[in-house]
A and B are shown apart, each in its own frame.
Chain A
């Protein structure tokens, strides 16, 4: 996983409050988890549970069968095979239980937040107290400071600060107010100040928290389309091997060597793709979990898979590609002013300016001119003139020195008013900056009673660091990025070029966004986007992966199929990577599982038939001690490899954005070739121990 420098470098531990039980493991896997998940794993021996997974169900039936025969004819070998077949089922159960366990703790604390809140419902202006579970869509409820919001909805009256840490893990309170894009509130969060009236927008049991609980617990996990297709393929392989083993008995009998049910079952279990069969559901759960760890909630696993298939990413310019605010990038001195003089003037005018633009001006002064960001005692005596919509400029009055910066027309007028003359250089500079998509701020001062323009500050969009590399990676993965902005085409083009996006949509209205999505989808492409406003909702619903910001409206959150609790639009890129990683993990482990069979044939076939055709012993290239030790070693390897691969299934295989061919080549090498070689070594090693067991070796 690559990291971007713009992403705040924090771990889930930082963003989550220290409340016990909230912590989700950062993908690490400790042997302790195996132990704590043990009881859950035992419960999964229920055949009804096993039926969900055709491959493991075959193993389960095989275990029962072998146990029956082992009881009838107990020997070290038969008991050994029976035990290890049961271990195979157990390890598969464990994998699933461990994956689920990671979500359980989180679900528990979410339930805490959901504890039956009492709602103050407004009926015709009269308040009545009802349990939160009785609220219906459209009910109006009053929530005051210190109270828990009883259900999801929109603020229709008032403004309040809300603590959403129960959901987002972010302890800083957020403001929610009626109207606009910040009206959505979530049930289970707490109002810290003021009073709001909330209109309920979800049915009880279907609220955000309910969905989140179901999600992290994996309780109602539905198989995703690719998982279903893979299950069909695995079942097909299982059927083929079942047939091959069933037909082997008459063949063996004809050849004069009837095989025992125990040996045939052992062969079957070794051949069917148990490794991937055992880990398949754990991989799916862990994939969702990786999203949750990044504070993203997907409404379905299908959406996570779709994320891996995305062809086109629509990214909003502001806040995603560029910093949310424009920054000062250049000072252009005019009329004989030296750059140093200009810098000193703009620094002075901005020292007390708290706006992001103002701060960026001071930062540029520090960076480029080595000036101090701190005001001297003398400078502190100056009087700051705040920006207002009327004057359209801000500045400082320090003694008889007055400095102003602001919109060109306003500052020119100010200079003229004060009897100064505006240099002819100003016009072209201002035009040039605007033409390039920047915002010109004209700086003027009155010094010693003379008013003059000293220069122009260029404010421009600054592309976040690392974005260009990120887009290049996306391109290598076959994903086209489209920047969406309200800017004019000229400005948009300049920023698009700088950021290295593939395309841009300028002067975009919500309809344009929608049309673009439709157009891409018409051509067979899958589109992902982020959005937060109500007017984004149709486009979010239309897109294949729509990530709504948690700060957004409930309409947006309802329309999208994922919600980002951090409200970080760049996270879309990570979501795509998680989707891909999920599929790759499945594919890689399937390949590994199938490739393993080669070695198992070399172990088991000579063991079965060298008795009648001694020449087949030439196939025993691992030099396994006896037929019994060979078969038992293969069965043990088959079971142990599941445990060995649990961490990989939970973490996901390594993913680096690169071309499809490079990815395939690497994975075929590691998991295909590795899958062929590993069991030869593994079975050989296990046999060295197994042969020591009396009666087997």
Chain B
């Protein structure tokens, strides 16, 4: 079997698996976020944290909940790392340095999971499990919650209530992420992923010397790392490590896991707004861009000078390209190959995937709300072009809505471009780069794109442990995450306050190919217009060589 056919088979199996779970999972998530009933476990949680689960919140209160919860999470995670020597299972790895601890805290709370550390050297099991893994769950649940609040903005009318953040957070964690993570962890163990509390095993190698091979509770973290589009590996080599991702079957399962929730959320959206086609059209746009970028990366890598450089032979070009496309398109950031070793075009493809703003299909929840924000911008222009005050899903897009959408869209390019610009003029930067010229530039650009878009994958080839990188990337992650969240919640608030405009022949349908083209075009155009000058100096200059 040729590697191309094998690759196509993998894609086919992946798509078939996604198609099978799309409806049931999407519908299930819709029920989770719309039912009035609380499970006994949830009721217990609400009693402990003293939350009235039946009182709904205004957008401001909802946003305060998100920000407050995330702030406390950052502080706790920071303290856990700094106080590591006092914790069990620390294996004498010591306190994490302040800059790194801040960067990690920002990284895991913002669902970025950028890792400026070598996990098996820096983190003990307690910080991994109590700190990082917990954030893997709740940061994903925060994304889900915000997406649901925005959807409620569309489906509700004449109300200032968007739901209850604590309820959405608890339900997303307990009813969706936890059971799915548990199941998939068992599947991964079955496929050979390691699950151990030991620090490592000592073996005598063929060279006669003793080697220590680190072990970790990998399977449990691996499953949520992918399901929650987190991406922070328990080993430094991430999903390229044989203990995290032993074979091509586990590789396929992992790609499936990182796509499954963002993809199915479009069904949840369609179900909640009362017309599944509204979700299909979003999925169509996401899918088209995902496939397009897959084709570009796959083609670029298989025709490159050294196709397998930086890739695991057990995955091959196809398995690596599929993973790379999916991980950068979902804001996951896990890697099973070295993106830095990709060709100019292939590496540029993974970079562009992030610069789209993480909506192809994007992170858990974040992908849905990001593409909805883009839909609002696209529908604003389209609405003008059909001669009506623009509207989307029956809600008018006026000054408030456009402002909120604009702020949400502005955040990422702003922090990214400022970050790159400042980094490049700092004298320390060129010393941190492994490569000169266009490729070195791509490394810096990739780092800030990854942080600002909460992706977390690394081009590597750049040493990011100095104070500037640790703190500026941390700040990019936080601003890239929370400015859009506040803007999206504000948007949800003003949408919910409106009454619904009934559909008529003058309403632009948002379920057909015309809208899909418009939306997809807007995603590409906004990214291209913003980043083409920067890309010209990095990947484009490399690719045209």
Contact = CB atoms under 8 A, between A and B. Distances in A.
Interface of A: 225-226, 228-230, 232-233, 235-236, 239-241, 243-255, 267, 271, 305-306, 308-309, 311, 475-480, 523-525, 579-584, 586-588, 590-591, 594, 597-598, 601, 605, 609, 613, 615-616, 618-619, 655, 659-661, 663-665, 667-668, 671
29 contacts: A226-B384, A228-B399, A229-B390, A229-B398, A235-B406, A236-B406, A241-B529, A243-B413, A243-B414, A247-B420, A250-B425, A251-B534, A251-B537, A311-B506, A478-B507, A524-B501, A584-B384, A587-B383, A588-B384, A590-B381, A590-B384, A605-B533, A609-B536, A609-B541, A615-B541, A615-B544, A664-B382, A665-B514, A667-B386
B461 to A, nearest CB: 15
Contacts of A524: 394, 499-502
A391 to B, nearest CB: 52
Contacts of B385: 584, 587-588, 591, 663-664, 667-668, 671
B403 interface: yes
Contact of B441 (A225, A232, A254, A598): A254
A615 B544 CA distance: 6
Nearest to B422: A250
Interface string B529-543: 111111011001100
B534 A244 contact: yes
Nearest to A520: B502
Nearest to B533: A248
Contact of B529 (A247, A582, A597): A597
Q: Which 4 residue pairs spanning A and B have beta carbons closest together? A: A478-B506, A587-B384, A580-B387, A478-B504
Contacts of B381: 233, 587, 590-591
Contacts of A249: 421
A697 B325 CA distance: 44
A587 B382 contact: yes
B530 A244 contact: yes
A232 B403 contact: yes
B283 interface: no
B534 A247 contact: yes
- The dominant DSSP class at the A interface is helix
Nearest to A522: B499
B345 to A, nearest CB: 13
A590 B403 CA distance: 17
Contacts of A476: 505
Contacts of B190: none
B529 A240 contact: yes
Contact of B508 (A229, A244, A660, A671): A660
Nearest to B521: A672
Given A523-B502, A583-B384, A229 B399 contact: yes
B380 interface: yes
B9 interface: no
A226 B398 CA distance: 7
B214 interface: no
Task: Point out which of B384, B402, B414, B507 has the most chain A C-beta atoms below 10 A from its C-beta.
Answer: B384
A670 B215 CA distance: 62
A248 B528 CA distance: 14
A342 to B, nearest CB: 47
Contacts of B388: 308-309, 580, 583, 660
Given A236-B410, A524-B502, 17 more contacts: A236-B406, A239-B410, A240-B530, A246-B417, A247-B420, A247-B421, A250-B421, A251-B424, A251-B441, A255-B441, A478-B506, A479-B506, A523-B502, A524-B501, A619-B540, A660-B507, A664-B508
Interface string B488-504: 00000000000111101
Contacts of A253: 424-425
Contacts of B429: 254
A225 B518 contact: no
B437 interface: yes
A267 B525 CA distance: 17
Contact of B409 (A236, A250, A255, A667): A236
B79 interface: no
A230 B403 CA distance: 10
Contacts of B545: 613, 615
A556 B268 CA distance: 50
Nearest to B409: A236
B87 to A, nearest CB: 42
B119 to A, nearest CB: 31
A229 B402 contact: yes
B74 to A, nearest CB: 26
Contact of A616 (B386, B441, B512, B544): B544
Contacts of A475: 505
Residue from B505, B509, B540 having most chain A Cβ neighbours under 10 A:
B505
B527 to A, nearest CB: 11
B386 A663 contact: yes
A618 B383 CA distance: 37
Nearest to A579: B387
B541 A225 contact: no
A584 B387 contact: yes
Contact of B413 (A244, A525, A597): A244
B286 interface: no
B118 interface: no
Of residues B377, B380, B394, which shows the largest number of chain A Cβ atoms within 10 Å of its Cβ? B380
Contacts of A583: 383-384, 387-389
Given A311-B502, A523-B502, A605-B536, A232 B406 contact: yes
A605 B410 contact: no
- Among B417, B430, B506, B531, chain A packs the most CB atoms within 10 A around the CB of B506
Contact of B398 (A225, A243, A480, A525): A225
A581 B385 CA distance: 9
Nearest to B395: A524
B397 interface: yes
B389 A226 contact: yes
Q: Which of A251, A305, A609 is packed against the most chain B CB atoms within 10 Å?
A: A251
A232 B437 contact: no
Contacts of A247: 417-418, 420-421, 534
Contacts of B409: 236
Contacts of A252: 537
B532 A655 contact: no
A308 B531 contact: no
A232 B533 contact: no
Interface string B393-435: 0100111011100100110011001101110110001100000
Contacts of B530: 240-241, 244
B155 interface: no
A245 B424 contact: no
B462 to A, nearest CB: 13
B438 interface: yes
A229 B505 contact: no
Nearest to A305: B389
B534 A233 contact: no
A254 B444 CA distance: 11
